[in-house]
Structure 1
């Protein structure tokens, strides 16, 4: 989130007049497993409070799998609770989660059938697949890259993703999720995967950018953000 969302919004600044500042508060997590994700999620209230001190206009909760691992539909609970922290602090701001942003983006694209690339271990990837399915979408194929260390997720070479996407059964899909994780880089290859598959291609970071722009009341457009941020939606 701290790299690809600012990158998208900086690219947007080249074509639109709005300017952005970025502020972050971090939750601790080293190994991507269910226990550490739950501990991480428990720190989100502190982060929302800290960021609201800066009177920000929108907050984004980045970790998709931390939200999805807390139970089906949890993004709605999380967004409402964290917004409440900003209200209590006298600086009310809307909150989007990357989990909610991703499933909402699939609705915007009218993507009923999708394929997914995720960096998580298989049990967590299956949890993500089930969460997405519970929101009304069918995951027809997916790959779990099974990277347990959070820093290794960030170091994953995104140039591998186009070949991974080629290996998926995407011909009947309505969209490709090239990274179901804001930590795993994918932004440089989003247009390439769209060209390879002929399908709208998005990531958790692209979807979160779309959701943030929507909450800000701004045109949802950013160069390099694929179909979702092309201006068509």
Structure 2
């Protein structure tokens, strides 16, 4: 998120007048395992406190799998709790989670049947699939790249997805989630895959940006960032 969302917002600045600054507070996590994700999530209150000290206009929680591994519907609980932390700190800010943003983005697109690509190990990928299906979507097919090291996930070439997506069935799907992880880069591949497949393409990072813009009351239009950020939603 610390690379792709600023890149998306800079692209937006090329066509619209608003200007953005980007600030972060980090939760520690090295290996993408359920136990480390739980410890990381427990640190999110501190991050909300630190960012609200600086009086943010919107705050995004970047890790989709940390939320989805905590149980069905947890993004609503997390968003409510963390937003309340900002209120208590005197710096009230709307709170967006990448997990909730993906669900809300797919809902806005009226998607029902989707396929997804994840960097996670298969057990965590299944948790993500179950979480999304519990929200009323059909996950037609998925690909688990099985990369346990979080740094390795973040260092991947986004254009590798131009070939990886071909391994996933796209039969009668409404949307392809090219990266269901804000850590795995995908932005450069989104317009390429969308053009080649003819299917609307989103990512967790694109959905998070869309939700942030919605919370700010701004136009959700960004060049070359996928269907959700076309300005139509």
TM class by shorter chain equals: over 0.9
Q: Structure 1, unaligned stretches of length 5 or more?
A: none
Equivalent in the alignment of 2:112: 112
Equivalent in the alignment of 2:54: 54
Aligned-pair distance for 1:232? 1.3
The count of aligned residue pairs is: 233
Any residues of structure 2 matched to 1:38-187 within 5 Å, and which?
38-187=38-187
| Aligned counterparts of 2:183 and 2:98: Cα–Cα separation in 1 | 11
| Aligned counterparts of 1:82 and 1:133: Cα–Cα separation in 2 | 25
Aligned-pair distance for 1:160? 1.4
Equivalent in the alignment of 1:232: 232
| Aligned counterparts of 2:5 and 2:30: Cα–Cα separation in 1 | 21
Aligned-pair distance for 1:171? 2.4
| Aligned counterparts of 1:216 and 1:159: Cα–Cα separation in 2 | 31
Runs of 4 or more, structure 1, over 4 Å off, are none
Note if contact 1:166-1:196 (Cα within 8 Å) is conserved in structure 2: no
User: What is the TM-score of this pair, normalised by structure 1?
Assistant: 0.99
**Partner deviation per Cα, 1:148-181 (whole Å, 9 max, x = no partner):** 0000001112221111111211021000000000
Q: Structure 2, unaligned stretches of length 5 or more?
A: none
Q: Secondary structure at the match of 2:46?
A: helix
After superposition, the CA RMSD in angstroms is 0.6
**Partner deviation per Cα, 1:121-169 (whole Å, 9 max, x = no partner):** 0000000000000001000000000000000001112221111111211
| Aligned counterparts of 1:52 and 1:227: Cα–Cα separation in 2 | 31
